[in-house]
Amino acid sequence: MRPTWAEINLAAIAHNTGVFRRVAGDSDLCAVVKADAYGHGAVEVGRAAVGAGAKWLGVAMVGEAAKLRSAGINVPILVLSEPRPSEMADLAQLAGVRPTVYSDAGIAAFASVAPIGSAVHLKVDTGINRVGAEPSDTVRLAKQIQRAGLTFEGLFTHFASADQPGDQFTDVQIAMFDQALAELSAAGLDPPIVHMANTGATLTRSDSHRSMVRVGIGLYGVEPSMALRDRCGELGLCQAIRLRSEVVHLHDVETGEGVSYGHKWVADRPTRLATLPIGYADGLTRAWWERGYVLIGGSHRPIRGVITMDQTVVEVDDKAAVGDEAILLGSQEDEFLRVGEMAEVTDTIGYEVLATVGARVPRRY
């Protein structure tokens, strides 16, 4: 067996859930576990989050909801985008799973296969411009939901840049959403569940909390943006993933010898190198090689040469031995490699770092 795996700390998930429950105040917490819980394992994370007080789970696809139900997780689940009409029959068989709708076709498709009174949530697009109903169409669609024999349980939107404190467009989105709510209220169509806050807004915009907040990246102890790194630290969020491998080969190169494909790195002195059985197919982005490092023996060990599909080469000292643990994310002795640090160095976001830790990397809990 390859000595590479991801250790998932479910106590950290429970801790982070508790932190966000306190931050959210009277609002219920929806733990977002789409994309296999951002690579952490949806079933295991879902259980931990629910056990720590999450009232809802959020997913992206019907199949993700089915997996949670098959595992015996019975809290309400929201599919955060409108399923295709061909998926509605499968969704209707999953008790307590709510679809998002934002079109006449979506409403009609679900109504044609779901029991009378089945609940849906209506998504309004307030400016992220991906999916959702136009705010001006909210009342009409809410009435259509009721005429179709469904229950108009929830209204929500999604922020474009709430992870940037002080962002003015978040104010615009809140105002647009509140206008849609006011029009619904005037028509006697108040939904019992209203939600708009993601992790960033939950941390910085209490005026957006409403009856429920949706927390994704923060649940895993990762900041949604560098601008919120300090805030996450103040709250004591704990990174839940520890990605580890180990040294499987040691060798020496002389001055002038190149390493890995293209010889992008050339030794300027005699150097001892260690090979690790982990590569970009496992989620270790190639862009990490130029300024990246791993932890071995509690010390930073720089990557030498480009990261390949299955292997990574790092510089070590004479104390290194085959079998030494190498940490790609997480803690070792007094050092800690943050997801956010890797994201910043490689010009991406923590979401992508987590989501690309591949399925061939076993998870251990």
**Which of the residues are catalytic?**
34, 261
Residue 181's SS3 state is: helix
Token reading at 179: 């206008």
CA dist list (Å): 137 to 119, 142, 179, 184: 19, 9, 12, 10
Contact partners, residue 171, CB within 8 Å, separation at least 6: none
C-alpha–C-alpha distance, residues 179 and 152, integer Å: 18
Determine how many CB atoms are found less than 10 A away from the CB of residue 192.
11
- Residue burial 246-257, b: 16+ Cβ < 10 Å; e: rest: bbbeeeebeeee
C-alpha–C-alpha distance, residues 82 and 79, integer Å: 7
Token reading at 190: 């108040």
Contact criterion met (CB below 8 Å) for 29 and 58:
no
Residue 132's SS3 state is: coil
C-alpha–C-alpha distance, residues 60 and 80, integer Å: 5
Degrees to nearest 5, angle at CA 92 with 91 and 94: 70
CA dist list (Å): 277 to 162, 231, 321, 354: 38, 35, 15, 19
